[in-house]
Structure 1
Amino acid sequence: MITAIVMIHANADRIPETAQAIADLDGVAEVYSCAGDVDLIAVVRVRVHEELADVIAGSLSRVPGVSSTSTHIAFRSYSAGDTDAAFAVGLD
């Protein structure tokens, strides 16, 4: 699975509608409204790299209210759940 984190600048008066429209797209796993340099952060998960273009450039960037995006492709996950599972191997 390929994961991309998309930083999204959105029109301030349309953030809730824009976030929901993005969350409804195939390939979008999560959307967060946040404070800071960007308005929304979307987590996109696809099976092959070619699908990133379809989801991000083809759909997400065209959602009404999206003014710009910046995409970051994840290489590896270091989540707490992954770490806990690694240390629990053989404890059954």
Structure 2
Amino acid sequence: MINAIVLIHAEARRIPETAQAVADIDGVDKVYSCAGDIDLIAIVRVRDHAKIAEVVTEGINKVDGVSRTATHIAFQSYSSADVEAGFSIGE
């Protein structure tokens, strides 16, 4: 599975509707509204790189209220549980 993080700039007055429309796109796993320079963050989970392009360009970028996106493809995930498991010895 390929994961991508899509940073979304949206029209302020339409953030809730835009977030829901993005969340309804096939391939979008989650959408977070957030404070700061970015209005929404979408987590895209798909089987191949071509599908990421389709989800972003044909889906997210065409949602009313989306003004700009930046897509970042994840290579490796890390979590505190992964680090702890790597250092545990048969507990």
**SS of residue matched to 2:25:** coil
Over 3 Å counting, the alpha-carbon distance change for 1:20 and 1:51 in structure 2 is: same
Over 3 Å counting, the alpha-carbon distance change for 1:86 and 1:15 in structure 2 is: same
Q: What do residues 19-55 of structure 1 show as CA deviations (whole Å, max 9, x unaligned)?
A: 0010111110110000011100000011111101110
Give the 5 Å matches for 1:41-80. Answer: 41-80=41-80
> How far has the Cα of 1:13 moved from its partner?
0.5
May I ask how many residue pairs the two structures share in their alignment? 91
- Structure 1, gaps ≥5 residues long: none
Specify the alignment match of 1:28 in structure 2. 28
Amino acid in the other structure paired with 1:8: I
The more displaced of 59-68 and 72-81 is 72-81
CA distance in 2 between counterparts of 1:6 and 1:89 reads 38
**TM-score, structure 2 length as denominator?**
0.90
- Structure 2, gaps ≥5 residues long: none
Specify the alignment match of 2:17 in structure 1. 17
Q: Report % sequence identity.
A: 63
CA RMSD of superposed structures (Å):
1.5
> How far has the Cα of 1:87 moved from its partner?
5.0
CA distance in 2 between counterparts of 1:29 and 1:88 reads 31
